[in-house]
Amino acid sequence: MNFKFFNTPIKGLKLIERKIIGDDRGFIERIFCEDNLKEIIFDKNIVQINHSLTKKKAAVRGMHYQIYPYAEKKIISCLKGKIWDVAVDLRKNSSTFLQYYGVILSEDNFKSFLIPEGFAHGFQTLSEKCELIYLHTERYKPDYEKGLNPLDPLIGIKWPLKISQLSERDKNQKILDEKFLGI
């Protein structure tokens, strides 16, 4: 098997460990295999792959998600550098509603993070020049994209480092209140 799957404290959110085959020349790893990943993405297909670069340490990107009918599953992997990847449960009626879980992804630990539909996603860079690859089960639809403020006190994400950069868009996301019932 090319992957090992680990549950997190939040139902549906999984950590994936990728198998590495290496020698003194280097290594090869499989990032995606439809047959092996079918058990965690079920009836969905990967339809879009994105690659991002964040140059500065302690920068935060997120917390983003898409709503129905374009809600998506994502598999996030860090190919260069080191990040703290975070998912927030926004599923109404979930026993872990508005709880978050974070995990370190790096070029050295060969792990990926499966984020199901109904979760917001973001990350903080723990090193300079972090490159990520995102596998998506839906195409990007700007009219269906939403976001949370990464500093929202209702969620209370404890970012590992003092934030060095945050986009105006992310900084200006609304703070949640008791009227937010989930997605």
Whole-prediction pTM: 0.94
70 is catalytic: no
% of residues, the chain, pLDDT over 70: 100
134 is catalytic: yes
The per-residue pLDDT for range 139-177, each reduced to its tens digit, is: 999 999 999 999 999 999 999 999 999 999 999 999 999
Token reading at 16: 């994936």
* Domains, in order of start, for the chain: 3-171 (2.60.120.10)
Residues 116, 12: contact at Cβ < 8 Å?
Answer: yes
- Residue in 51, 64, 70, 100 annotated catalytic: 64
- Residue in 65, 121, 134, 136 annotated catalytic: 134
CA distance 85 to 62: 10
CA within 13 Å, CB half, 136: 18
Pick from 100, 90, 85: which is nearest to 67 by CA? 90
Q: Compare 95 and 33 and report the one with higher pLDDT.
A: 95
The per-residue pLDDT for range 61-87, each reduced to its tens digit, is: 999 999 999 999 999 999 999 999 999
The per-residue pLDDT for range 80-103, each reduced to its tens digit, is: 999 999 999 999 999 999 999 999
